[in-house]
Amino acid sequence: MIKCLRVDHRLLHGQVAFSWTSALGADCILIANDDVMKDELRKTTIKMAKPQGVKLVMKSVEDGIAAVNSGVTDKYKLFIVVESIQDAYRFATETNVIKSVNLGGTKAKENTRNISKAINVTEEETTLLKELVDKGIEVEIRMVPNDAKVHAENVL
């Protein structure tokens, strides 16, 4: 069962590893990121942030989607973390199990606008988020579980 799909450019760090994992009751974290799979240092860093007693799996985005679609993740209370809105969009549109997307942090970069404390989006990302909302997928902004949900359609 998918507990949450979160977009966070930092991937696995204290906030995600502890606050979110325990609030969700997740027993497995899937980090889906193409660059991490090519970078041993990032893999090691992510492994060090893993909470005790929680399984950690790292896959490319394509392999993560394939794992979810195959059913091998069904036995877990799965927390999926991706780095970008594009990756979250792929999970939401290439599987049929994503009901909501949590936006936790995206970097400010050229051609982005800030829509909340830690969320910066390009025009393309705005379009992708609106498409998800139009498909009936909840897109909410929250850095930590105790924050009030902000529905993305209200700030896009």
Q: What would the 3-class secondary structure string for the chain be?
A: CEEEEEEECCCCCHHHHHHHHHHHCCCEEEEECCCHHHCHHHHHHHHHCCCCCCEEEEECHHHHHHHHHHCCCCCCCEEEEECCHHHHHHHHHHCCCCCEEEEEECCCCCCCEEEECCEEECHHHHHHHHHHHHCCCEEEECCCCCCCCEEHHHCC
Q: Which of 10, 13, 42, 43 is catalytic?
A: 13
What is the CATH code for 2-154?
A: 3.40.35.10
Gyration radius of the chain's alpha carbons: 14
Task: Provide the token pair at 86.
Answer: 């594009």
Domain boundaries, the chain: 2-154
From first to last of its 156 residues, the chain has per-residue pLDDT tens of: 999 999 999 999 987 789 999 999 999 999 999 999 999 999 999 999 999 999 999 999 999 999 999 999 999 999 999 999 999 999 999 999 999 999 999 999 999 999 999 999 999 999 999 999 999 999 999 999 999 999 999 999
CB 78 within 8 A of CB 26: yes
pTM of the model: 0.97
For the question of residue 9 being annotated catalytic, the response is: no
